[in-house]
Amino acid sequence: MPVTIDRVRRMGGAAGLVFIVLGLVSIFLPGTPPKADEVANVSRFLTDERGSILAANFLVCLGFAFFLLFVGALRAHLGAAAPEVRPGSALLAAGATAAGLVIAGAAVLNGAAFQVASAGDVNLNLAPYHVANDLFFAAGFAFAAFFAGAAIAIMVTGALPAPLAPLGALAALLNAVGGVGFFAKSGFFAIGGAFGIIVPLVSVFWVLWASVALLRPAPAARTAT
């Protein structure tokens, strides 16, 4: 039986929902991470939450495998709506880059938590902790490109609910602003700050809405002129 765009779209919507479940669990499982200037708490966090961190990192990597399936289906759906301009072409690259950076960050953090039980050197624990978080901050720029591209593609094709365009633009802006965490040692934008929860929640809400839309019958798309 040939795989149709409709089937790909629905499979992508289901993959997006699985990603959301795994992603939300992985975000809240280890608790709030220490901020950049809370040096003494980093080793304590890696030790006390070791099991939760290892489990969360596994779920992150598994979840982003489903995210890539969602991105591929989203690209196919948008491309089918306007094949002459291929509005979803940039989404695959941006989504894959973002997923790769998050998975790399999870792997580094996992390594720090995995070995911390036998290593008492605070600096040895601090370095991979910061590297992991820097990879997460870097992923924000790729996510910004993904959401901005999605917003533009939705405006061009009308292939997804119209409110997803401004919401995507907002998610793009928040993810880009999240890069402030590169140099924020404490406060709202730093590791463990409130901004680090707001950005994923807005992003996840966008994916949830898009996933539900992909699971529904395809709307009549408009062609760019």
For 23-82, what is each residue's pLDDT tens digit? 999 988 988 888 877 877 888 888 888 899 999 999 999 999 999 999 999 999 988 877
Q: Looking at the domain assignment, is residue 225 inside a domain?
A: no
Specify the pLDDT at position 87: 62
Q: Looking at the domain assignment, is residue 224 inside a domain?
A: no
Specify the pLDDT at position 223: 46
Helical spans, DSSP H, in 49-121: 50-81, 89-115
Across all residues in the chain, what is the average pLDDT?
Answer: 87
Q: Looking at the domain assignment, is residue 220 inside a domain?
A: no
Residues of the chain with pLDDT under 70: 1-3, 83-88, 116-123, 218-225
- The rounded distance, in Å, linking the Cα atoms of 37 and 186 is 6
Show the tokens assigned to 183.
Answer: 């140099």
Q: Looking at the domain assignment, is residue 223 inside a domain?
A: no
**CA torsion through residues 141, 145, 150, 155, sign:** positive
Show the tokens assigned to 158.
Answer: 């009308």
Show the tokens assigned to 7.
Answer: 């089937």
Q: Looking at the domain assignment, is residue 221 inside a domain?
A: no
Specify the pLDDT at position 36: 77
- The rounded distance, in Å, linking the Cα atoms of 137 and 34 is 15
Q: Looking at the domain assignment, is residue 96 inside a domain?
A: yes
Q: How many domains does the chain have?
A: 1
pTM: 0.89
Q: What's the half-sphere exposure (Cβ side, CA atoms, 13 Å) at 146?
A: 26
Specify the pLDDT at position 2: 61
Q: Looking at the domain assignment, is residue 222 inside a domain?
A: no
- The rounded distance, in Å, linking the Cα atoms of 3 and 161 is 24
User: What is the extent of the structural domain holding 49?
Assistant: 5-215
Residue identified by tokens 């790399």 is 104
Q: Looking at the domain assignment, is residue 142 inside a domain?
A: yes
Specify the pLDDT at position 194: 83
Q: Are 168 and 157 in contact (CB under 8 A)?
A: no
- The rounded distance, in Å, linking the Cα atoms of 14 and 109 is 28
